[in-house]
Chain A
Amino acid sequence: MCFHFDIGSRARHAGRFIGRVRGELLRALSERKAETGLSQQALARKLGADRAQINRQLSGEASLSLRSLADLAWAMDMEISFELKKPVASAGQNQPMTTSTVRHGQIKYINGSTRKISVVATPANSELGQAKKSA
């Protein structure tokens, strides 16, 4: 017996993208904290914002605008890399299901017509950051 938690393709893409952006921010902050001791309090001070508001934005309890995202990356001295690209099938990956085996109706898989969004924060002064800038 198996339960398939299916919220639909659109909601799935939105939720996982939002989660990935927040996860990347938390990862970057944790990395900066280990390297330079940057705390949420220091981050808030640098942005002239309330620490609780920064915490809510990072935890997902408050909306995050593009401006806030850019500000947070700036305060962490990180660069944002952003691109939209077509999904590419790679060797060894699973085949997406084309027929439904669950009770929530047919799976809405749109092959080749979706655009993938990638947001990765990299240190502004790192080799990786430089390479991306010059590319």
Chain B
Amino acid sequence: MTTIEELVEANAISRIEIEMHPRDQVLRLLYGTPDFIAWLDELAKGSQPGRRLGEATPAEQVDDLFNTFLSGMPLVHMRQFRTIRAEKNAVWELKTPDVRIFGWFLKKDCFVGVFGNWTDQVKDHDLYRGYRIAIRRLRRELGVDDTLCVQGVTPGDVLSL
């Protein structure tokens, strides 16, 4: 049976951390594939969409979302996270005004990001289906569909609320 530690050792995924307030503790876990982390790295360096919607920069939006997630604060269903399609072993989307992050929950409160993109790109080119298929394929290749993937599709299945 594949474990999260084995995926990390094989460099299939890496742990993502942020600077947290001293009074906060990490209550959830966040991982990313190498490609997603490369995308995050570009975002941290100031990458911007052609047309920005949010008052905060995309990097600030993602930092705030990760901070909310990691410190165990509630996320607003549909506004900040949702399934792409209600199905067993669903693919999930984390959302900010300008950014969309696609991945899945390895366990409850433990998300792995696979793709990140600008909101307008995802919507204009209808990339949901492509991301969903690519993530399902990746999970099959890693052999984690039955072991490291939350089956349920309700918010309470993936997050301690």
Residues of A within 8 A of B (CB): 1-7, 9, 11-12, 14-16, 18-19, 23, 26, 56, 59-64, 89-90, 93-97, 104, 107
What does the 1/0 interface line of B57-75 toward A look like (CB < 8 Å)?
Answer: 1011111111110000100
Q: Cβ of B15 and Cβ of A1 under 8 Å apart? A: yes
The residue from B11, B15, B59 contacting A7, defined by CB atoms under 8 A apart? B59
Answer yes or no: B8 CB below 8 A from chain A CBs.
yes
Contact size range, B: 35 or more
CB distance from A85 to the nearest CB of B (A): 14
Complex CA gap A64/B8 in Å reads 41
Q: Cβ of B97 and Cβ of A60 under 8 Å apart? A: yes
Residues of B within 8 A of A (CB): 8, 11, 14-20, 22-25, 32, 37, 40-41, 44, 53-57, 59-68, 73, 76, 79, 96-97
Q: Given A3-B37, A60-B56, answer yes or no on A16-B14 (Cβ-Cβ < 8 Å).
A: no
Q: Cβ of A5 and Cβ of B40 under 8 Å apart? A: yes
Q: Cβ of A64 and Cβ of B19 under 8 Å apart? A: no
In the bound complex, residues from chain B placing their C-beta under 8 Å from that of A59 are 79, 97
Q: Cβ of B76 and Cβ of A64 under 8 Å apart? A: no
Complex CA gap A68/B14 in Å reads 41
Q: Cβ of A19 and Cβ of B14 under 8 Å apart? A: no
In the bound complex, residues from chain A placing their C-beta under 8 Å from that of B41 are 3
In the bound complex, residues from chain B placing their C-beta under 8 Å from that of A60 are 53-56, 61, 96-97
CB distance from B89 to the nearest CB of A (A): 25
Q: Cβ of B55 and Cβ of A63 under 8 Å apart? A: yes
Q: Cβ of A6 and Cβ of B97 under 8 Å apart? A: no
Q: Cβ of B17 and Cβ of A14 under 8 Å apart? A: no
The residue from B17, B56, B79, B96 contacting A4, defined by CB atoms under 8 A apart? B17
Most chain B CB inside 10 Å of its own CB: which residue of A5, A6, A61, A97: A5
In the bound complex, residues from chain A placing their C-beta under 8 Å from that of B54 are 60-61
